[in-house]
Structure 1
C-alpha cells in the first residue's frame, strides 16, 4: 500500500498549493516549510477536512479525493490525526478519549475500552486512565492524542506540529518516545512541522515546501548536507550560494567569486558553515583562498557562539566567540575582511 497525493488547491486569496507526495508503508515523511508555505493545508486535504480543487489522494486502491467525481469525508477515511493542540475532549477521561475513535467506528463499548486500555499502557499512561485532559501535562496529553489516533489502526497517520505545545524540558524526551512509537507503526506517517530538528530526528524522508511548492526532498542527511534554497540553508545553518563554476572558480549569482576545492563546470551550489568563516580587521596574507571585504550588518547571541551577519559581495554569516567580538570591538557598521579556505566548501550541481 502506497499513499499517493497530487494536491492542488486554489484559494481566493491567490495562494496556490501544488504538491505531490508519496509515502510508503512504515515510512515517516516530514513536510517542512516556513509559515504560510501550505503545510497545514496539505495535511487538511489528506485528512478530508479540505477538498481538493484538482488532483488525487489515493491510499493503495482506495481513492479519497479526485475532483469532481470523488470526495470521501474525514470520518470515512482510514486516517488518524494528531493536531497541534491535541483536541482532547475535556469532559472525558484519558481512557474515554482513546476509546472515542473506536466507538465512532461502531466498536462495542467493552471492546473499545479494552483496546484503549492497551494503548494507554503502550504509551506509558496506564496510571492515568481516569485522568481528564486538564490534569495532564503537555507530554501526557500528546501521548493520549497519539494513542487515540493509533487505536483505530489507521492506514495513514497525520501529525500536525505534535511537539509544538511542549516546553523545552519535555520536548527531548517526548520526541524520543514519539520516534519509538512511529518506528513500531507499519502504516504511512506524514509529519507536518516547522522545526528542523523534529524533521531530522523523526523522518525517513523530508519534503521542503515554500510558497505552496516542493523545493527539495530527500533523506535528512542529504537535505542537511546539500540545501537548495536559502530557507533550507538557514534551517541547517549553512551559507549557500548559487553560481556558475569553471574549474575551481565559481562566479556567484548576485556578485562575488569563490574558489572551491573540487573542480566543476556549469550551474552549482556552494555551501559552507558559518564556523568556516574567519574575520580580520585588515586584509590578511597567507593560505586562505577566499578573502573579501565585509561590513557587519547584525550581531546576535547563538547559544555559546555569536552569529555575525555580514554585508559583502557575497554576503555571509560567521559564527565567532564572544572573545573575538571583544578583541575586535565588533559592532554594526564595522568593516572587516572575511576569509574561507577552499577546503571548507562543498560544491554540488544546481
Structure 2
C-alpha cells in the first residue's frame, strides 16, 4: 500500500518540542497514544493545518501541504482532510443535514449537490430519520455519527479522529465503537485516531504509535506492543509490570534484586510480567519459585473482580489477587508480605 501521509511533525514551543515521524497508508488506521502532554493533540492540529510546523513537512498523496523550509503552508480548509473533534463541534443552529452538507459546500459543491451528499452519508451512518434534527435534540452517539458523516462527506484523503468516543457514556461508547470500526474499514483513505483509551486503539487501529514527551517511543501492531512494552507508560497501558536491568542468560539483575527468567537474554534487558502472575504470601514460601522477595503493601484497590495490590520493596510491583486470598492474607497498607513470580510467567527481551 502506498503512503497517503508522509510527515515529520516538528513544533517548537518555549517548554516543549514535538518531533514525530508519521506515515499512514491508504486504508490504514493508525492509533496515536500517549499520556497527557505527550503531544498527541499538537500532532493532530499540525496535520489538520491548525498548527503551523516549526520544521519538517506534511505531504498528503504526494503533495506538500506544509513545508516551512520552503515557506509553504496550506490552510485547513484547503487540505484534503476530514476531522472529527472530541466535542464534535456541530453547528447548533443547523440541522444534521446542513451540518453534514457544510463540508461539501466549502469544497465547492452547489447547495443541492451538497445536501444530496449529506443525505446519503446520514443514511450510511443510520440517521436518515434525523436529517432535520438540530444537535441539541441528538444523543451523544447520534451527534458523533453526524460529525463522522460531516468529516467523510468531503471524501478526505486523511481522516483525523480526536478522542472520538471520549464524550460518550459506557453503553453508547460500546455500540458507537462497533459502528465506527465498520465505517473506518470502508474508508479508502488514511486515518489517524488520537486517543488515550487503549481499548479504542486496540479495537479500531491497525497500527499503534506511542509518543511521550513529543517523541515516538514505540510503534507496531497491537500484538508486538503488548508483548514487548518499552516504557512504563506502555506497560501500564497494556497492564504489565515492567523493569529494566542487566541480563546474563536466564537471570536479570534489577537494582538489588535478581530475577530468574524463562528467556535467554544478555546485556541491557527488559523484564515484564502481569500483575496476575504475582503471588503473595504472609511468610516466605517453602519450596517456592526462585523469584521471591519481601515487600510492603502501599495500596489496595478494586480491579475488575480482583484486588490490585501495590507493593514496594526491591522493586515496585502491582499484584492482582482474589478477594478471598486478600481476606486470608489480612492485607492492609503497611503490612509486610512475600511476593513471588514464577520464571515461566516472565518475559525478558533486549532493551536495545
Q: Would you call these one fold, judging by a TM-score over 0.5? A: yes
Q: Under TM normalisation by the shorter chain, which class is it?
A: over 0.9
Q: Verify the 8 A CA contact 2:61 2:157 in the aligned structure 1.
A: no
Output the CA distance in 2 between the equivalents of 1:16 and 1:159: 22
Residue-by-residue CA offset, 1:111-153 (whole Å, 9 max, x unaligned): 1111111100100000000000000000000000000000000
Alignment-derived partner of residue 214 in structure 1: 216
Is structure 2 residue 321 aligned with structure 1 residue 320? yes
CA distance in 2, matches of 1:349, 1:201: 28
Q: Is 1:59 paired with 2:64?
A: no
Residue 48 (structure 2) pairs with residue 34 (structure 1): no
Q: Distance in 2 between matches of 1:263 and 1:65?
A: 47
Alignment of 1:180-259 (within 5 A): 180-252=182-254, 254-259=255-260
For residue 175 of structure 1, report the CA deviation from its aligned partner: 0.4
Deviations 1:50-74 (A, max 9, x none): 1000111001221011104210000
For 1:116, what is the secondary structure of its paired residue? helix
SS of equivalent to 1:170: helix
Residues 11-59 of structure 1: per-residue CA shift (max 9 Å, x gap) = 12x1110111100100000100011110000000000001000111001
TM-score by length of 1: 0.98
Q: Give the structure 1 partner of residue 18 of structure 2.
A: 17
Query: Match for 1:124 among 112, 123, 126?
Result: 126
1:296, distance to aligned residue in structure 2 (A): 0.3
**Which of 141, 150, 170 is matched with 1:139 structurally?**
141
| SS class of match (2:287) | coil
TM-score between both structures, scaled by the size of structure 2: 0.97
| Equivalent residue, structure 1, for 2:296 | 295
Separation in structure 2 between the aligned mates of residue 109 and residue 43 of structure 1, nearest angstrom: 30
Q: How does 1:170-181 map to 2 (within 5 A)?
A: 170-181=172-183
Gaps of 5+ in 1: none
Give the match for residue 285 of structure 2: 284
- Counterparts of 1:100 and 1:289, CA distance in 2: 65
Question: Hey, what's the Cα distance between the residues in 2 that align with 1:340 and 1:289?
Answer: 8
Q: Deviations over 1:207-263 (max 9, x none)?
A: 0001111100000111111111001111111011111111111011x4321100122
Could you say what secondary structure the match of 1:243 adopts?
Answer: strand
Correspondence for 1:341: 342
User: In the alignment, does 2:331 pair up with 1:304?
Assistant: no
Please name the residue that 2:275 is paired with: 274
Tell me the secondary structure at the aligned position of residue 143 of structure 1.
helix
Q: Counterparts of 1:194 and 1:247 in 2: how far apart (Å)?
A: 37
Within 2, Cα distance between the matches of 1:124 and 1:337?
56
Specify the SS of the correspondent of 2:320: strand
Once residues 23 and 263 of structure 2 are traced to their aligned partners in structure 1, the CA distance between those partners, rounded to angstroms, is 35
Residue 289 of structure 1 deviates from its aligned partner by 2.0
Give 2:114's aligned residue. 112
Stretch moving more, 229-238 or 284-293: 284-293
| 1:90 maps to 2:95 | no
Q: Which runs of 4+ in 1 moved over 4 A?
A: none
- Any gaps of 5 or more consecutive residues in structure 2? none
* 1:287 to partner: Cα distance: 4.2
The root-mean-square deviation of aligned C-alpha atoms, in Å, is 0.9
Q: Distance in 1 between matches of 2:66 and 2:263?
A: 48
